[in-house]
Structure 1
Amino acid sequence: MKLGLEEMLQLLQEVEQGDPLDFADLPMDEERLRRLVLSDLLQRDEQLQASASAEECQLIYLLSTAHLVLENLLLHLQLLRLQQPEGSAAAQWQALLSRFRRGDDGGA
């Protein structure tokens, strides 16, 4: 199934209803940022589909997702360390590890 930018934006909006992103006080338009990211990903997908097999595409997407999840986890842990009193970040880290060991990603 080939979806265009507008359909992807709508699906992303549905995903974010269950797991909203925190843009905090960043000086950027959220919708414009979503559009920019999805537009770039659709362009990369088109190039990849033209040059790789379905199996290679799936492997690339799985590895890319793993890299992004790991990067997000590291950023989250760095924020915890900065925001939490000594010791409480370690407890949250253990709780997070327990979730991953159970396979409960909480929508992440």
Structure 2
Amino acid sequence: MTKFEEFKNKEKFLIDDKLFYPGISDPTLKPILTEKINFVADDFRKLADKGIATEKEYQDVIKNGLDSFAEIYLQLDTEDRERVCSYFEELMDIVGLESSDGHLNNFMYGFDPSK
């Protein structure tokens, strides 16, 4: 469970040359985005604590978490949306989840190109 705490405690939306991320486009959004991502981390941790969470339960958390960005979605540029998705992927890696069931693609592109 320390992986969740480490994830929550790290500063987010900083410049990341490995991901070619230039940093948050609008610094006023940083605390809002960080809070939303950390809430999702809390939800992942709650499921992990159950010990018997299903892929579907994690995928529902992903969908609900991404839905929480709806009110500010249009304020995010492409790089910021990609960074949000990469944070979700980090959480998926912590629990060993391989698929978001298309939710990340829907968030990024408005549809799932695999369907």
TM-score normalised by length of structure 2: 0.39
> Given the two structures, how large is their TM-score scaled by the length of structure 1?
0.41
Larger Rg belongs to = 1
Relative to its length, the structure with more helix (as a share) is 1
